[in-house]
Structure 1
Amino acid sequence: MSVLIAAPSSGSGKTTITLGLLRALSRTMALRGAKSGPDYIDPRFHEAACAQPCLNLDAWAMTPAQIQARAAGQLPLIVEGAMGLFDGAPPDGKGSAADLARILALRVILVVDAGKMAGSVAALVQGFMRYDPHLEIAGVILNNVGSARHEAMLRRALGDISVLGAVPRDATLIQPARHLGLVQAQEHPELDIFLDRAADIVTAHVDLEHIVSLLKPLPARPVVSPRPPPAQRIAIAQDAAFAFSYPHILQEWHAAGAELSFFSPLANQTAPDADFLYLPGGYPELHAGRLAGNTDFLESLHTTQAVIYGECGGYMTLGETLTDAKGNTHAMAGLLPLQTSFAARKLHLGYRHLTAAEGPLAGRWTGHEFHYATTTRADGPPLFAATDAEGTPLPPMGLVQGNVMGSFGHIIDHR
């Protein structure tokens, strides 16, 4: 059995606590991290913390069999939840961290931001412990504790509830962020210093021996046959502007026999010879001027014989222009009749059911959308028919023009 690090709400500190636990425990044992839900950024921090690959496990977008097969392994697993423990997609909260805990029989460690609480912490924790009798909350880690006196008050209020740690308030553990979440691990200034600091604090204030006693490898499960890769030779853009690809998708393409190669558009590298060219999402809007000047990269998109597929940031890069947050408009690849802008930001967020009628992505998919860009021009046939998590029809998503296609949707799994 492994554990889930959850919280009553976002902003409670579960990411920092998870990273501190992964780095602290990896000093004496091998273990893995995983992230609940559609998150590209936190998993890369997990990998940096414990030097093991980290996967997304999504109880809305993946079937229980897919989750169990991907989570199985020889190493114990610490899973970081998303949002609050019982928060999921509408209408019924499907896909919550609690759903994932039930599917994998994970014990839950609840991280509570106690910075502005005293006796009330008991009512909060007792409510979470009693809410779902099918979940086992193994204990609580108190976060943002102000002093030894404050800690004593919290512990007294919690009575017999297992307190696995009390982490003091520490401004050095605040991480830099931007509009889609934390600054990416590869861009984080002094990342190892931060991770070691988090590990040292967790080691000093959390009962690691107790947590280790909860960690057991998950049982092996039959491998669920993935959808065949979209092509035999797949080239993938990978750098700070195109970092949002799911490891489970790439791993399963490779396991099915596809040959994967990688290149950096930011370094003006040309697209490798391939049958399928994948431009993932990321932050092209932060690098639009540089990308617009990288003529070797852009010209290679025009000369390749591969099918080109772009998700979100990759989709915007395949368009005609991208206007950044300062109002500066940059020429992009011009392969799709698409113009996008960050000058007037609008949040688009939610799970999606996606269906492509033809091409290498033909079929039904689960996915999600998370971006602030607005579309100022989009002409041509769409890539996907789409509904939201509740099945409500949405306008068609994306564009297809010849061998080039893309949308703002991020594919998670096939259906």
Structure 2
Amino acid sequence: MSSATRRSAVSGAPGLLLAAPQSGSGKTVLTLALLRALARRGLCVASAKVGPDYIDPKFHEAASGLPCPNLDPWAMRPALLRDLASRQAAKADILIVEGVMGLYDGAADGTGSTADLAALLGLPVILIVDAARQAQSVAALVRGFRDHGHEPDREPVRVAGVILNRVGSERHAGMLKASLETIAMPVLGAVPRAADLALPERHLGLVQAGEHADLDAFLERAADIVANAVDLDALARLAAPLALPGDHIAPTRLAPLGQRIAVARDEAFAFAYPHLLEGWREQGAELSFFSPLADEGPAREADAVYLPGGYPELHAGLLAHNEGFLAGLKSAADRRALVYGECGGYMVLGEALTDAQGTIHRMAGLLPLETSFERPKLHLGYRRLTPCRSLPWAGALTAHEFHYASVLRTGDAPALFEACDAEGTRRPTMGLVRGVVMGSFAHVIDGT
């Protein structure tokens, strides 16, 4: 790993954090609409997404025009969080961070919430409240979230304003605003219920941004609705500079898998963390990209191959028949290039994948592994990992597991990682290693 470097902190643009009392409140669509609406005003708008989410950041990028990193307060060290946030703020006129789940919801150990990130970065919180099934009770709800941020056992969190979502009528909006006036909470807008403010979903979240032929039209419609309902000037005035040390350490990043890394990238292999790839480049690695769905193999000069997660189960039939891709993986392993797969990439390195309809598809056959989606079962949670060998990384790691696949069979091969969950409870070992080929269901996020 490269050594840490010291540099002066530049706070850059002021920022806001958009959060909600619970999942399903509509914060992703409102975030996208606000990003596009602010960008249409001529502002350079940067964004970030809290938590281990691969899908929402691509929607952010489509809405704002800038890449969107993850900020994960459970899995990332504070120095990395500050560094990534300050880099984003330095690019823009305003930084908009979208939270995850409810404002105070974190991992199973109670840490890593959106509120924890707000406290670390000093960002004011705008609470997006789904008001569809309430009226005067909204004040009690918002007061609780506001006051909880000032409990003596936690770092302060400031709820600076509210956006009311899924409001039924002007009369409904009036009741909600009158209630919030009693607790002196600024209401930045009341967004009406609208069929245009909906995106399709599948089992791992939203359907990917790249699969929407009319995504730009959707973003324009959403921006029209939200710009008409939200006081954008008042919203921007609430933004505050990042709370950064005057001089901070840019943290050591995870070491690159090799000097020349071939990265699979298409709709089947879309789940690669931007900060991971960026860190490899900054340490001198050269990255090339190839599409398994287009029957491309990794570059012949690559000394490492990275198969990130994604949705290979939706394209298993095509992948099974893409001989150029499969032969390219085998050739890489034969010349002793390190071949590493995460989650979907791990399954493709195995011998067979059974899809949801029960059809068995041949995979690369580089690891003794058979997986299935025929009887989907959710596997979800943060993981602490210790490599059982020095590759792909040395030292303890943080990671996230999220998939519906089941393992039908594993052969005789060593495990890749020792593992425990967020609460420190030991879990079964993860992954397999066969020579230079290795992988697991874990999405690695940072070192510790």
The normalised TM-score by structure 2 is 0.91
Match of 2:98, as an amino acid?
A: E
Q: How far has the Cα of 1:286 moved from its partner?
A: 0.2
The alignment status of 1:271 with 2:298, answered yes or no, reads yes
Aligned position for 2:153? none
2:27 aligned to which of 11, 14, 18: 14
1:237 aligns with 2:272: no
Q: CA offset at residue 26 of structure 1?
A: 1.0
Paired residue for 2:166? Answer: 144
Does structure 1 residue 103 correspond to structure 2 residue 130?
Answer: no
- Aligned partners of 2:214 and 2:250: how far apart in 1? 38
Looking at structure 1, the residues matched to 379 and 144 of structure 2 have their Cα atoms a distance apart, in angstroms, of 32
Q: Distance in 2 between matches of 1:116 and 1:192?
A: 31
Counterpart among 198, 215, 221 of residue 174 in structure 1: 198
1:376-413 deviations in Å (ceiling 9; x for gaps): 01121110000000110000000000110000000000
2:67 maps to which residue? 53
Alignment of 1:154-193 (within 5 A): 154-159=176-181, 160-193=184-217
Residues 72 and 217 in structure 1, CA contact (< 8 A), matched pair in contact too? no
Query: C-alpha distance in 2, partners of 1:376/1:317?
Result: 14
The yes-or-no answer on 1:390 pairing with 2:423 is yes
| Structure-2 separation of matches of 1:157 and 1:97 | 26
Give the C-alpha shift of residue 189 in structure 1. 3.4
Cα drift, residue 216 of structure 1:
4.9
Indicate the residue corresponding to 2:275 in structure 1.
248
Match of 2:308 among 272, 276, 280: 280
SS in 1 for 2:66: coil
1:224 maps to which of 243, 251, 272: 251
Question: Which residue in the other structure is 1:3 paired with?
Answer: 16
Say if 1:237 and 1:217 are closer, same or farther in 2 by CA, change over 3 A.
farther
Match of 1:298 among 315, 318, 326: 326
Do the aligned partners of 1:143 and 1:168 also contact (CA within 8 Å) in 2? yes
TM-score normalised to the size of structure 1? 0.98
Distance 1:307 1:26 in 2: 42
Q: By how many angstroms is 1:202 displaced?
A: 1.1
Q: What residue in structure 1 maps to residue 220 of structure 2? A: 196
Amino acid at match of 2:374: A
Q: Name the counterpart of 1:315.
A: 346
Q: Distance in 2 between matches of 1:241 and 1:290?
A: 10
SS in 2 for 1:287: helix
CA distance in 1, matches of 2:20, 2:254: 34
Deviations 1:74-111 (A, max 9, x none): 223111000000000123x2010000001100100000
State the alpha-carbon separation in 2 of the partners of residues 157 and 205 from structure 1.
18
Deviates more, 1:187-196 or 1:321-330: 187-196
Contact 1:5 1:109 in 2 (8 A): yes
Paired residue secondary structure (1:249):
helix
1:358 aligns with one of 370, 383, 390: 390
Alignment of 1:69-84 (within 5 A): 69-73=83-87, 74=90, 75=92, 76-84=94-102
Return the match for 1:262 from 255, 265, 289. 289
SS at 1:172's partner residue? coil
Identity of aligned residues (%): 59
1:126 to 128, 139, 143: 143
CA displacement 1:129-188 (0-9 Å, x = unmatched) = 111211111100000000001100111111121001100000121110000000000012
Report what 2:58 is aligned to: 44
AA matched with 1:145:
V
Q: 1:335 aligns with which of 358, 366, 371?
A: 366
Q: Counterparts of 2:34 and 2:266 in 1: how far apart (Å)?
A: 27
1:217 deviates by 5.2
**Deviation readout 1:116-138 (Å, 9 max, x if unpaired):** 11111111011111112111111
Moved over 4 A (4+): none
- Shift in alpha-carbon separation, 1:217–1:257, aligned structure 2, 3 A: farther
3-state SS, counterpart of residue 396 of structure 2: strand
* Equivalent residue in structure 2 for 1:85, among 92, 103, 106: 103
**Which AA in structure 2 matches 1:225?**
T
Most deviating of 211-220 and 194-203: 211-220
Alignment-mate amino acid for residue 174 of structure 2: A
Q: Find the residue that maps to 2:328 and give its secondary structure.
A: helix
Structure 1: state its 5+ residue gaps: none
Name the count of aligned residue pairs: 414
Give 1:272 deviation, angstroms: 0.8
Per-residue displacement from partner, 1:297-326 (whole Å, max 9, x unpaired)? 001111112110000000000000000000
